[in-house]
Amino acid sequence: MPLLSCQNLSLGYDGIEIVKNLSFDVNSCDYLCIVGENGSGKTTLMKTLLGLQSPMGGRVITGDGLMQNEIGYLPQQTIVQRDFPASVWEVVLSGCQGHSGLRPFYNKAEKKLAKENIEKMGLSGLEKRCYRELSGGQQQRVLLARALCATKKILLLDEPVSGLDPRVTAEMYALIEELNRKEGITIIMISHDISAAVRYASHILHMGDTEFFGTKAEYIDSDIGKSFAKGGRIL
């Protein structure tokens, strides 16, 4: 059974339908990139997968015992979030909230997990630093470490390299690829960068007037893939 299955989804907001009858499956260890024009419903789909928004029609089914609180999420950052006055340790540890339930404290296992993910993201020594004092790349690593505290199965990433310089962008893509290939974490990532999607993804969902879902090879060979992927067109 797929880790996550979307069946005949209709999505929208304020009573306006922007996506109709969308169906696709995501299996364990897949790396799915969601691409498409602005306003095509990418972020609305992400919110629906996270359970933050209900579909107007259809349903989302999870498999392999995946629970809603086992989905790691790295959202697009707002200016307010970039200025968040908390320490790196506090931000990362907060990713364990979904497991701690009503407990007013974090246990040893959760603190150990936060420490491991800080090390994994190359942030050791920065635990006491204020989040808002970090560079954009460091902040994204902190948020990725936080998301990893919530899951060992699947990460949902909403434009994780937005606003980063080319070097830091490449480093972030490499980190995400390592989590997918070496640790078996399923990735669902919204991206405006078609060239990166074609390079890293195993599957691509293209949303817009023309919809496509399939493997990377199938996308490259499709009419819509040839139209957008040629030259690494950025939407």
Residues with Cβ within 8 Å of 1's Cβ and at least 6 positions away in sequence, in order, are 63, 64
State the pLDDT confidence band at 229, using cuts at 50, 70 and 90: low
- For the segment 20-58, what is each residue's pLDDT rounded down to a tens digit? 999 999 999 999 999 988 888 999 999 999 989 899 999
Q: Which tokens sit at 97? A: 């909230």
pTM: 0.91
- For the segment 94-147, what is each residue's pLDDT rounded down to a tens digit? 998 877 666 678 899 999 999 999 999 999 999 999 999 999 999 999 999 999
Asked if 7 and 23 count as a contact pair (C-beta separation under 8 A), the reply is yes
Average pLDDT over residues 223-230: 78
Q: Mean pLDDT of all residues in the chain? A: 89
CA-based nearest residue to 76, from 200, 164, 150, 6: 164
Using the predicted structure, report yes or no on whether residue 232 has a pLDDT greater than 60. Answer: no
Per-residue DSSP letters for 103-140? -SS--HHHHHHHHHHHHHTT-TT-TTSBGGGS-HHHHH
User: Helices 136-150 and 166-181: crossing angle, nearest 10°?
Assistant: 20
Residues 148 and 140: their CA atoms lie apart, in Å, by: 12
